[in-house]
A and B are shown apart, each in its own frame.
Chain A
């Protein structure tokens, strides 16, 4: 910094190249536009590279045979600089991954878990959001705070007691030893994952929907009710369609997080097998055995696993954006 400042000082006093350039940028509109464009390209380029490079690397790993990954020469031809690039073109990895592990079943599990969690979260959060956003009752603020507080806890805090309960052990009050109830044995079933996921994602969804529902003018709900709906009907027919962007946001966030979830499901599914409702990530990890790790298959599986999310995000984003611009909640 010191040197730059120093050189800057000296050039400025002498009208050096930096000072002259700065001055010309300030005065010349065209030069300024060019600078902004250059800065934009640099910033956007940096962002794109850091975001997309992992995917490129995955693709490189998937196309490179396992033996080459560990022993191969990563230097680029001619230049000689080491840079990840495909060593060969082994598309067969994308077939082999399904032959070695029933990866489609793991994906199916993840889909089922994500969809059922999303449905539960949206259904409950919609009702809760309506209550918090549109009804006045004493203790509303406190209740909302309590709901939000759940999301402040790290999920791991709930893991041990939940695991204990879901194993089928009786739930006992600590120190007193009083038995409250005996949970059914839920491990290795979707319930053991969907229940905690729903509980963990509800606060955020409730918060999002509360703010959206609160913005819908009372007159619209009143109009719907006079026209012939119940409160619930007004919620479904008027308030929810008008809050579509909020619903989409809550749904997408929940779906993606559950689809990518591993922490709870790796523990609630006692083994990494599709029958135990192990999710996508469990599937990817099952290419790793005690003696071998099939990096290329893991990479291929990662790419296949991520595709649905990419599609959903692209579709949902269009939806969200169109929902926002079509808006017009003006009365």
Chain B
């Protein structure tokens, strides 16, 4: 068990920079998820920690040891791979004890540890099976047991659940959380599935384009995303992002306006291009706006497509006065609004209605930098504002 520090870790290949100036400070016993889209550099980051690739620049420290140039075997890390990577020519016992046998532990110790590890992952009585005779979930347990027996300082897990079917994946997710509680070891977990990251980790490190976007507890990432990327990536379905402009009176988009005191928005002034972010669950039909204390002015919309999920209904809304110029398929701006409503609500397609936003849950992002300006605009109409201004430590590299 140990803490793990990455300082200015950069990995450049001939033509691409896979990891760009990554700084991570991970505490002892923490469960950290590295999350991001495919090719964002999260796996490369993991490989540099494991020692499978050498960073071009930067230092990696595990405990108090600088391990940057140590080979994988001397780093005190154990890894669970996406493709499980059990040795097909060895049975379960040989697979699990592989690392111990290499390190010349005596037979008694090996047996004791293997027994404990198989106990933890519930694999008793399967020690003489070959990997090919086992199911996906069982193989994954063997891979985890192989990592446990080494009693490593840091666990690395590279999308260990990606190859499992949906049901097993959810099951293994809770198993891993239980495991973390039991072992209390630092775990670095790579995934592209933000739901996995949200449910399991103590903190989420959101990575995009090789750069760390934000590292915070799951709910902070969810409620106070540091920038447009995090806002769009964390949460499913993702946050509504609507392009607009700051004016003296507030935010004007093509479809609606929000009454905001611009002076209360730090680092921005009238005339700036901004994006309004609002999560589907923070959009309310006007008849239920009593549930919130700080509704925005009503916005006229028409329902488009309904997606009943059972526990809620996702409603795609189009703005009534949609002007044709906004119909550009921009990634960060859309003239569609997604709302989630109570499953019992009687709602039909092509229905005209009015919706309001929960002003405490409205996010403003600067279009130029993508950084969050402010989370919650409830107090910005009066003079005595007190808003949650994003902290500058939240990971943007361009400050």
Residues of A at under 8 Å CB distance from B? 217, 219-220, 222-230, 233, 238, 241-242, 328-331
Contact = CB atoms under 8 A, between A and B. Distances in A.
B52 A222 contact: yes
B99 to A, nearest CB: 4
B56 to A, nearest CB: 16
A226 B155 CA distance: 11
Interface in B62-77: 71-73, 77
A162 to B, nearest CB: 41
B79 interface: yes
Interface string B78-115: 11011111111100000000110011000000000000
Contacts of A329: 88
B340 to A, nearest CB: 39
22 contacts: A219-B82, A219-B85, A220-B87, A222-B52, A222-B81, A223-B79, A224-B87, A224-B98, A225-B51, A225-B52, A225-B71, A225-B72, A226-B52, A226-B73, A226-B77, A226-B79, A227-B99, A228-B102, A228-B103, A230-B71, A241-B89, A242-B89
B100 to A, nearest CB: 9
**Most B-side CB within 10 Å, residue of A222, A226, A230, A238:** A226
B103 A222 contact: no
B146 interface: yes
B150 A227 contact: yes
A219 B98 CA distance: 15
Interface string B248-290: 0000000000000000000000000000000000000000000
Nearest to A217: B83
B83 A331 contact: yes
A331 B162 CA distance: 13
B186 to A, nearest CB: 15
Contact of B78 (A226, A233, A238, A328): A226
B89 A227 contact: no
Nearest to B75: A226
Contacts of B87: 220, 223-224, 238, 242
Contacts of B146: 227
Contacts of B73: 225-230
Contacts of B102: 227-229, 233
- Of all A-B residue pairs in the complex, the 10 with the closest CB atoms, nearest first, are A219-B85, A227-B99, A223-B85, A228-B102, A331-B83, A228-B73, A328-B132, A226-B79, A225-B72, A219-B83
A324 B85 CA distance: 20
**Most B-side CB within 10 Å, residue of A223, A238, A241, A331:** A223
Given A219-B84, A223-B81, 19 more contacts: A217-B85, A219-B82, A219-B85, A220-B85, A220-B88, A222-B85, A223-B87, A224-B98, A225-B71, A225-B72, A225-B73, A226-B50, A226-B79, A227-B102, A228-B73, A228-B98, A242-B87, A328-B88, A330-B88
B110 to A, nearest CB: 13
A37 B260 CA distance: 90
Interface string B112-153: 000000000000000000111000000000000010001000
Interface string B209-232: 000000000000000000000000
Main secondary structure of the interface of A (DSSP, over half): helix
Contacts of A229: 73, 102
Nearest to A323: B89
A328 B87 CA distance: 10
B98 A227 contact: yes
Contacts of A225: 51-52, 71-73
B292 to A, nearest CB: 49
A227 B102 CA distance: 8
A328 B85 CA distance: 12
Interface string B33-59: 000000000000000001110000000
Contacts of B150: 227-228
Contacts of A227: 73, 78, 98-99, 102, 146, 150
A84 to B, nearest CB: 49
A228 B146 CA distance: 12
Nearest to B87: A238
A202 to B, nearest CB: 26
B85 A242 contact: no
A228 B89 CA distance: 18
Nearest to B163: A331
Contacts of B84: 219, 331
Given A219-B81, A238-B87, A331-B83, A226 B132 contact: no
A229 B85 CA distance: 15
B26 to A, nearest CB: 18
A241 B95 CA distance: 14
Contacts of B99: 227-228
A219 B78 CA distance: 13
Nearest to B50: A226
Nearest to B97: A227
A223 B102 CA distance: 13
Contacts of A220: 85, 87-88
Nearest to A328: B132
Interface string B303-329: 000000000000000000000000000
